[in-house]
Amino acid sequence: MRELTYHDFLATFGIGGAHPGGLALTRDVVAKERLTPVSQVLDAGCGTGQTAAYLAKTYGAQVTALDQHPLMLQKAGRRFQREGVRVQLLQGDVHRLPFPDKSFDLVLVESVTIFTRINTALGEYARVLKPGGVLLDLEMTAERPLSAKELEELSSVYNTRQVPTETEWTGRLQGIGFESISVVRGGTVASAIPNEQTPEQELPEFEASQDVDPRLYDIWSAHQALTEKFSRRLGYRVYRAVRKK
Ligand SMILES: C[S@@+](CC[C@H](N)C(=O)[O-])C[C@H]1O[C@@H](n2cnc3c(N)ncnc32)[C@H](O)[C@@H]1O
């Protein structure tokens, strides 16, 4: 029997805005980027396509959405049809993006790179961005360096090889051909959990499949347990970086 992953859990339950802060945070962060109907935008690791649909609807931008998970793509495709938005949807891997060099003005990545070979993925974002183009990458970030035991615990659910600190993420971006790197939003995981004090944080969206493998409930509870346990040791940051000219 195939081993199920955290992404199978997200895809099966159709969790949209599967990143800290959800669509509300995405809206705020993207609003500063001056998108227009001629902007070429890539949503890398688009999941069920909530952000891609929002960008196409709100800015009329030329949006390409890419993910490697077949069920995510199916749900994203259904969303684009339902909402009548024009988004180019592709199956692909951020380690080998299927686009020529210098294709995009904005590459938006929300909670994806952490699950990859980070430098390879960052290198691909840099390659497909036009010189002067912008990367916005929201990623899990360690509030302090994590021990091998902590990493092992996180890896058992998320299959992450490493969880860089803010300084480490910034250093990697610098080493890969980005400049003007800044952190435009961030906080601990605890600060991103919606509660009565933070009504502006929307609850995640769900579009559950009919057949749910019961093992996915185990992944869900393991994820919940880790979220609580690491709520102050882990955070998220939105890194903004400009592709060097
Ligand atoms: C936590 S979800 C976030 C989805 C979406 N960006 C959002 O915020 O709702 C991570 C997504 O990254 C995709 N993903 C992970 N590794 C990938 C890779 N190497 N290439 C393309 N997509 C990948 C997963 O399939 C999943 O849809």
Question: What are 32-48's pLDDT values in tens digits?
Answer: 999 999 999 999 999 99
Token representation of residue 67? 């993910």
Q: What is the largest CA-CA distance in the chain?
A: 50
pLDDT band at 178 (very low <50, low <70, confident <90, very high): very high
Q: Residue 133: CB within 6 Å of ligand 1?
A: no
Beta carbon of 18 within 6 Å of any ligand 1 atom: yes
- What does the pLDDT read at residue 197? 56
Q: Which of 49, 174, 36, 31 is nearest to 110 (CA)?
A: 49
Q: Is the CB of 186 under 6 A from ligand 1?
A: no
Q: How many residues does the chain have?
A: 245
Closest CA to 176 of 235, 110, 223, 239: 239
**How does the average pLDDT of the chain come out, rounded?**
94
| Class of the CATH-defined domain 6-243 | alpha beta
* 17 CB near ligand 1 (under 6 Å): yes
Q: Cβ(95) to ligand 1 under 6 A?
A: yes
Contact 211, 145 (CB under 8 A): no
- CA 1 – CA 145 distance, rounded (Å): 36
Mean pLDDT of 11-18: 90
CA of 221 to the centre of ligand 1 (A): 20
Percent of the chain with pLDDT over 70: 96
* pLDDT band, very low/low/confident/very high, at 195 (cuts 50, 70, 90): low
pLDDT of residue 200: 53
Please give the number of the atom of ligand 1 that sits closest to the Cα of 69: 25
- Going by C-alpha positions, the residue among 231, 81, 241 that lies closest to residue 173 is 241
